[in-house]
Each structure stands twice: as C-alpha cells, then as structure tokens.
Amino acid sequence: MFGFRDLGFNIIACVFFTVLIHVAMSYSTLPVSCCFFGPATLLFIPANLENIFSKYAHTKTDKLTFKELWHMTDSSRNAFDFFGWTASKLEWGVLYMLAKDSEGFLSKESVRRCYDGSLFDYCADLQKGAVGKAA
C-alpha cells in the first residue's frame, strides 16, 4: 500500500488497488489447470513494444491516447477470458493514470520504463520532487 502512496495515489485508490491485486493474484492459486490470463510471456521483447505503437498510436507516433489504449486492449483479448479482459484493462489503465503526461498521452518511454522496472522509482522520485534537482 505504501508503494502506491509513494507513486502519488490517494489513500482510497491505494486500499482499492491493494485489495484488488491480492484478490486477483489469489485467483491463480485455485486448483484449476488454466488460471492464467492473456498471453503469458516472461521476456520483454523491444520489437513487441514497437509493434504496439506502430499499430495503435495514430495521434502521435510515439504516444498513446486513452482511446487508443482502450482499442489496443480490446483488439488483443482472448475469447471467453473475462478475467484477462478485466485485468488487461486495469493494468493498462493504472499505467496510463500513473505515467501519462500533461497532455494526456502515454509515451513509449514510459511503457518501456514500466517493463524494465525503472518507472516506479522515477515516479516516486517525481512525487518527492527529486527528479531534476539532482541533475
């Protein structure tokens, strides 16, 4: 919960996301053989990131609007995977809320930072006012 606070979310959103994440992750511990949602890949492939932006970023080539993000999650979902549909929308929606710029765009660099893990430290430093001061 404190990680979300460090990222700038309010206490209500922190409690909501904490409960949601714990409930969602407990779903995969059920004794059913097919509990995973969506296409499961463990490796980050930069070409896939480029493909996302070349296919769905129409307003600006290196940034996604919320509408384009919504269209992306709609077009890449699996049939009858209701949990996966919801999880995909929530994951990308939280990333959009966290990393959008002042114009309302989600940049390719922000998505890349999410995948390599540096986005969360960057946003926490940004909330503390440390970004730009150390440079």
The full set of domain ranges for the chain reads 37-128
- How far is it, in rounded angstroms, from Cα 112 to Cα 94? 15
pTM: 0.67
- How far is it, in rounded angstroms, from Cα 87 to Cα 71? 15
| Residue in the block written with tokens 């896939």 | 48
Tokens, residue 19:
């409960």
DSSP helix/strand/coil, 43: coil
What is the CATH topology of the domain spanning 37-128? Recoverin; domain 1 (1.10.238)
Q: What are the Cα distances from residue 102, in Å, to 105, 106, 113? A: 8, 10, 18
Are β-strands 63-64 and 106-107 bridged in parallel, bridged antiparallel, or unpaired? Answer: antiparallel
- Sequential pLDDT tens for the chain (135 residues): 467 788 888 889 888 888 888 777 776 565 544 444 444 445 778 888 899 999 999 999 999 999 999 999 988 888 888 888 888 898 899 899 989 999 999 999 999 998 888 888 888 888 787 655 444
- How far is it, in rounded angstroms, from Cα 78 to Cα 87? 12
